């Protein structure tokens, strides 16, 4: 039996910051691929990564952390 502990506000913030860093790195990589060769797949990857980054930012703001 695995027990999970409730996540604290600080824990949530830390997790969102990790998610933000990951999403930002993935977006940078997608943009680099698109800059190398602008294809529909690369454009779609940039759009998807941008949406993921926006989602993390929305969660951060929804959690009530300062801007």
Q: Does the residue 6 lie in any domain?
A: no
Asked whether residue 1 carries a pLDDT value surpassing 80, the answer given is no
Contacts from 59-65 at CB under 8 Å and sequence distance 24+?
59/16, 59/19, 60/13, 60/16, 60/20, 63/9, 63/12, 63/13, 63/16, 65/13, 65/16
pLDDT recorded at residue 65: 77
Q: Does the residue 3 lie in any domain?
A: no
Looking at the structure of the chain, the number of domains it has is 1
pTM for the structure as a whole: 0.80
Query: pLDDT tens for residues 8-64?
Result: 667 899 999 999 999 999 999 999 999 999 999 999 999 999 999 999 999 999 988
Of residues 23 and 6, which shows the higher confidence score?
A: 23
Domain span including residue 17: 11-62
Q: In sequence order, what DSSP letters do the residues of 16-57 get, joined into one string? A: HHHHHHHHHHHHHHHHHHHHH---HHHHHHHHHHHHHHHHHH
Residue 6: which residues within 8 A CB-CB, separation 6 or more?
none
């Amino acid at each position: 039996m695995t027990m999970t502990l409730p996540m604290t506000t600080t824990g949530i913030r830390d997790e969102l910051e990790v998610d933000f860093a990951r999403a930002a790195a993935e977006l940078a990589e997608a943009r680099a691929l698109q800059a190398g060769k602008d294809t529909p797949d690369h454009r779609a990857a940039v759009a998807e990564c941008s949406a993921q980054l926006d989602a993390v930012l929305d969660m951060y703001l929804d959690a009530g952390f300062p801007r």
